[in-house]
Chains A and B, each alone.
Chain A
Amino acid sequence: MLGLFKAKKKVAQIKILVVDDEPDLVSTVEYRLKFANCSVVTATNGHQGLERAAAEKPDLILLDTNMPGMNGHEMLECLRADPALKNIPVIMVTARCEPQDIAAASARGISDYVTKPFDFAQLMDKIHAVLKDR
């Protein structure tokens, strides 16, 4: 695993916004991402996420679906509604992988999704894939 990350080619600092209401999860993901040479900003709910997104202009958003207040779906909608933010790629992190949820999300324009518990390596691959397209 370690080798995997070390072997990854050097990329320019990718700024990733992690939006998730679970602080433990955020903590672990942040740590990992930083170790993978990404800069990380976090938010714990949808509103905060939108603020951060607007403020930080991340390269990618990792968006959890299940959040209090504004949930991931709602935030996604807001993102897409905002011309400044709508082009930021979003990878949804979902505990449920109900097809209808995914379909709904896809309709709103996510780039990819992972289900909890996710494999970090897989997540990294997806991130790279999404950003490669840019």
Chain B
Amino acid sequence: MSSSRPLHVLIVEDDRMDCLLLERLLARSALGTCQVQKADRLAAALERLQGQVFDVILLDLGLPDSQGMDSVVQLQAQTSQTPIIVLSGLDDADVATQAVQIGVQDYLIKGQVDASLLERAIRYALERKKAERQLQAAEWRYRTIFENSAVAIMMADEQQRLVSWNQFTEQLLGCCPEQLRGRKVESLYPPQEWERIREVSLRRKGMEHHLETRMIRGDGTVIDVDISLSVVRDSEGQVTGSIGVVQDTTERRRAEASLRESETRLQTIVENLTEGLVVADLDGRLLQWNRAALEMHGFTRLEEGRRLLTELADTFELSTLDGVVLPVERWPLARILKGEELRDWEVRVRRLRGDWQRVFSYGGTLVRAEQGQPLLAVVTVIDITARKQAEEALLVKDWAVDSATSGIAFTDLQGRITFANPSCLKMWGFTQEPEVLHRPLQVFLRSEQEALAAFHATLAAGAWCGELTARRRDGSEFIVQVSAGLVKDQQGRPICLMASLSDVTESRRIHEILDRKQRDLEAIFDAAPVGMLLVSAQMKVVRANDAIRRLSGKEYPEMINQDPCAVLGCLRRVHAAPGDAAVGPCAGCPLRRMMEAALASGTPVHGVEVQPTLNEEGEALQPWLSVSVEPVHVDGARHVVVALNDVTDRKRADQELKDTMEMKSQFISTVSHELRTPMTAMKEAVTIVREEIAGKLNPDQKRFLDIAARNLDRLARLIDEVLDFQKLQAGKVEFHLQAHKVAVLVEEAYATMQPHAAKSQVDLSVDLEPHLPPVVCDSDRIMQVLTNLLSNAIKFTPAGGRVRLSAHRRQDQLAIQVSDTGLGIPRDDLPKLFNRFFRVHRPGKEIKGTGLGLAIVSRIVAGHGGRIEVESEMDRGTTFTVLLPWAGPPTGAEALDPADHRLENLRAGA
């Protein structure tokens, strides 16, 4: 204690003498200057203390207004900082102890105090007080720290009971002091944590240890904590307690976890980026690749990519889109490392040993620190191979759209033109796209209403198809076929409208013409007087016309898709026995056979007359049908067109005619035969007399009988001719065909007619081509022909004339000619020459005969399959030429139905 400052002493002593003594002692001490104040009562002392600060108080325990410790206490209450030295007359250890216990610095016995003692006591008291003060200050400081710490500090005794804790502990554990006092430390931890702590404690053997654990709060929640535990030992090394410093790490943990989570999330994001991300250091060492980047470059493991940039030069070849190969120094990372910032740099990357080529878009930059120094390089990669291909495809499409022959136009959602390809412009008569851009679409169509209707329909339904009248630039109009659609993006939102346009004016016109023609054809088909059916290969009626309707009595719905025979009402099939397949009854049907044959063979059948429909009893029903079947291809499949003509009437007429003919034939036949019988009798009778069997005759009798006989012969001949002709016409004559030498025939004819010719004074000659082959014929009948012709020739040739009989080859036939130099036949009569009963009229010349001769001749020749020709010139002569086939009549001619043959002849007007 320095003497720089006087010492302020307060003596609290009621005894004046003692007080003086004390003063004197103080003055003698080496304490320096002392300023003394006196108080003889406690109250006075307290009063003094109120106004002043003293360094030390000397207190007599025996005061009039206070005794013993009480005084001390009161003084202490007034000033805790001032040391108090108690003076007492009693040598009482208990009192001394008591005093010290309550904070008195020293205890002095009055009779035993001297200056040095007092000095020492005061000094010590001051020192002690100072120390005490320092200690208190320190303690206060520690206490403050202790109390205000943001960590919980707990102290436990050797039984591990909490003895002391700071406020934060209460906060941390959410407990009030009562809950903590004397509480077992163990109860603050979850059981397994306590185990851990004990284990660690054991291991650490009482040394300080630090661990992360968990504690239980007052409300039962568990918190994460960091604790530092240390044991407190006494001087002997015995554990007297433990101190634990606890930090609530819950927040920290959460923050850590959150950070970790963020980091993981970030990692995941980076890893799962579709873009590739590569991080490299400033030396060009590629440190990090995300999965996308690895995949793009054809790596499977990260290790493959963690290399120096330069090392990758033998794995990849990079070139610009134009094809210029890039050296490593110009590679994306290299450029970034040089400080460039890359954005969307499109590069073609070829893997040298993987043989693939892709197009990547590289971007990237240097990552700098706060001060701007580069830390890392980050490179982004996007695989745009597909996009590039799509771009190319789009270019191609663009080109296609532009060169399309159809017009293609786009409009925005308000109906303004945003695009029109060249074809479209051309259709409307524009030359440049700008002329139409942004103009509303209805401008290009005649009817605004129609245009808007179509537009809105497209918007609503997504598509619209139809025809509109369009208006060109010059005002002319045309028909346009529109196919419009709504274009949407990937999310289904409409972007624009697209329309495909074609000028269909021409095709419309053609369609109309075709339609009209179609209708005309249908009308013709329907109106055809002949019934017409179009039948499919499946034997179903496809089409029928009006005539069929009348014929069958059915209406169209009953006919279409039905069996044609059923349409005609044939019940043949209906009444087939169950055992017969459907084939059975219809197999006999001529109509069906014709249809099937035509379908199968593709050859038509014409004009066959059938009565195909049968009734229930299997009898043929009217009508008779003249059927023609013509195969045809319709709709790419085989069909047949069946033309049916109801010829029932005609057939009936024919039948009647036939019957009439038959009757006539019969009649002629009968009559002729009847005529013969009397003729025979007459002839015989006349002959008997003429031949003088019944007696001699005079010349006159003979003459007249000759006349009779001659005329009877003539009559007989006439009857024969009629009968013969009738037989020939009826086709009831059988020719006895044999091969005959032509020469023989000719010569016999000559021999027969020669006398006759001589009598008429006509020169008959024969001209025979040598080496003629034999001809198949009926010799009698041919003789008949020749004699007839020769007879005529002789008859019609005046005396002195010539008749020539010749035979020669003509092409592939035998030609026998009878030519005369006679009267000739008028040209007009030539066609009718071979008609029955025709007789050439000659004024002044009566030619006798039935007129059947040539008719018979022509029939015989026809029956041989031959032909007869005649040439004639008036008054010059006539030549008849008989042409015969060498092999005789063809079998076909004889195979003709006799009825038809007769009818044929009839119809030919013979």
Contact = CB atoms under 8 A, between A and B. Distances in A.
Q: Do A and B come from one complex?
A: yes
B691 A22 contact: no
A99 B734 contact: yes
Contact of A25 (B684, B691, B716, B734): B684
Contact of A117 (B674, B680, B691, B692): B680
A31 B676 contact: no
A7 interface: no
Contacts of A116: 676-677, 679-680
A120 B673 CA distance: 19
Interface string B673-693: 110111111111101100111
B680 A25 contact: yes
A120 to B, nearest CB: 7
Contact of A28 (B676, B685, B716): B685
A117 B683 contact: yes
B687 A25 contact: no
B688 A117 contact: no
Contact of A1 (B676, B687, B694): B687
B850 to A, nearest CB: 17
Interface string B828-866: 000000000000000000000000000000000000000
Contacts of B684: 25, 28-29, 32, 120
A31 B692 CA distance: 12
A120 B693 CA distance: 13
Interface in A108-125: 116-118, 120
Interface of B: 669, 673-674, 676-685, 687-688, 691-694, 716, 734
Contacts of B693: 2, 5, 31-32, 35
A120 B681 contact: no
Contacts of B681: 22, 24-25, 27-28
Nearest to B715: A117
B677 A1 contact: no
A66 B674 CA distance: 10
A95 interface: yes
A126 B674 CA distance: 24
Contacts of A86: none
B673 A22 contact: no
B688 A28 contact: yes
Contacts of B734: 99
Nearest to A2: B691
A96 interface: yes
A103 B669 CA distance: 19
Contacts of A5: 693
Given A31-B693, A32-B693, A99-B734, A22 B677 contact: yes
Nearest to A100: B732
B679 A117 contact: yes
A122 B167 CA distance: 179
B691 A1 contact: yes
Contacts of A25: 677, 680-681, 684
B571 to A, nearest CB: 39
Contacts of A118: 680
26 contacts: A1-B691, A2-B691, A2-B692, A2-B693, A22-B680, A22-B681, A25-B677, A25-B680, A25-B681, A27-B681, A27-B685, A28-B687, A28-B688, A31-B693, A32-B687, A35-B688, A95-B673, A95-B677, A96-B673, A116-B676, A116-B680, A117-B679, A117-B680, A117-B716, A118-B680, A120-B687
Main secondary structure, interface of A, reads: helix
Contacts of B680: 22, 25, 116-118
A83 to B, nearest CB: 33
Contacts of B688: 28, 31-32, 35
Nearest to B685: A28
A33 to B, nearest CB: 11
A120 B669 CA distance: 24
Contacts of A28: 681, 684-685, 687-688
A24 B687 contact: no
* Most chain A beta-carbon contacts within 10 A, residue among B669, B673, B716: B673
Contacts of B674: 95
Interface string A1-41: 11001000000000000000010110111011001000000
In the A-B complex, the 7 residue pairs with the closest CB atoms: A28-B684, A24-B681, A117-B680, A95-B673, A25-B681, A116-B680, A1-B691
A19 B577 CA distance: 58
Contacts of A32: 684, 687-688, 693
* Most chain B beta-carbon contacts within 10 A, residue among A22, A27, A28, A120: A28
Contacts of A31: 688, 693-694
A60 B437 CA distance: 127
Contacts of A2: 691-693
A24 B688 CA distance: 12
Nearest to B694: A31
A39 B812 CA distance: 59
B676 A95 contact: yes
Contacts of A24: 678, 681-682, 685
A64 to B, nearest CB: 9
Contacts of A117: 676, 679-680, 683, 716
A25 B686 CA distance: 12
B732 to A, nearest CB: 8
A44 B646 CA distance: 56
Interface in A78-97: 95-96
Contacts of A66: 673, 677
B628 to A, nearest CB: 38
A120 B687 CA distance: 9
B696 to A, nearest CB: 11
A40 to B, nearest CB: 14
B706 to A, nearest CB: 12
Contacts of A99: 734
A117 B683 CA distance: 8
Nearest to A34: B693
A36 to B, nearest CB: 9
A51 B673 CA distance: 28
Nearest to A25: B681
A75 to B, nearest CB: 18
A99 B674 CA distance: 18
B694 to A, nearest CB: 7
A118 B677 CA distance: 10
Nearest to B713: A117
A31 B669 CA distance: 30
Contacts of A95: 673-674, 676-677
Contacts of B676: 95, 116-117
A25 to B, nearest CB: 4
